[in-house]
Amino acid sequence: MSKLAVAQENNTDIEIYYEDHGTGQPVVLIHGYPLNGHSWEKQEHVLLEAGHRVITYDRRGFGASSQPVTGYDYDTFAADLRMLIDHLDLTDIILAGFSMGTGEVTRYLGTYGSERVAKAVLIGTIPPFLLKTADNPEGVDRAVFEGIKAAVLADRPAYIKAFLDNFYNVDTYAGTRISDQAWESSFIAAVGASAYATWACVDSWLTDFRDDLRKINVPTLLIHGKADRILPYEATAARMPDLVKDLEFITIDGGPHNIPWTHADEVNKALLDFIGK
């Protein structure tokens, strides 16, 4: 519906595409890689029906937003989010992220605080810290991420195909929880994203969010699929209770990464229950 200029690249505006529907307490939904704001369709409908104002937007490089070759880091992503929140003058927000979007939620709260935010929701979390280091032995070797970047450069559509198969656990849920048509819709959205952003965002996945998590001072809901192949449960969600003060933690047994689609009923119930408390 609308675009907001958040920066410039070579004297051209970098614009964030957003949609703003409904009335009531605002819920800001931040999408996952490599999709866009429309990927929240199963949540947007029930939130609007429940009387909420729902704001979705496309991260820079994705969807209908600009596709620059700068700003693919969580400080910039959080700054883009802040500009959108300030532009719309939102308060009492439910700030919800899926996958990469959990990074924006976490970095926003860690950097800008909770003055405008009532509650936070993290679905398929990328925090606390994916990279294996001396003080983070639970992480993943850097070579894995370098391999992903090489695969994106070598054949981006082939990489996206393999990624989405694991995004939905297609071998388990094809024809039941994920149709061929829904998978194809995700593929079309993903290949339509910036090739540069698809590659550059991989480095952002290695952000250390541990200090940000400790600063979160609003009630937080975490929902994660136990069978997540993109952000494995033990390396991500299982570590969160030690870092977030006021955390409600729901595990979806058998859930793949994109539980907002494959397990929408469970996710939506948890979301509405949490918001209504």
Active site positions, annotated: 99, 228, 257
Cis-peptide, bond into residue 256, ω within 30° of zero: no
Angle at which helix 142-154 crosses helix 195-204, to 10 degrees, equals 180
Q: Are 102 and 122 contacting, i.e. CB atoms less than 8 angstroms apart?
A: yes
Rounded Cα distance between 198 and 156, Å, is 8
| Nearby residues of 100 by Cβ (< 8 Å), 6 or more positions away | 30, 31, 32, 33, 59, 126, 201, 204, 205
Q: Are 42 and 92 contacting, i.e. CB atoms less than 8 angstroms apart?
A: no
DSSP state of 133: B
Rounded Cα distance between 219 and 119, Å, is 5
User: Residue 1 CA to chain centroid, in angstroms?
Assistant: 21
| Nearby residues of 96 by Cβ (< 8 Å), 6 or more positions away | 27, 28, 29, 30, 43, 105, 120, 121, 122, 123, 271
Rounded Cα distance between 261 and 252, Å, is 13
- Residues 177, 180, 182, 187: what is their CA dihedral angle, to the nearest 10 degrees? 130
In what helix (H) or strand (E) does residue 195 lie, and over which residues does it extend?
A: helix 195-204
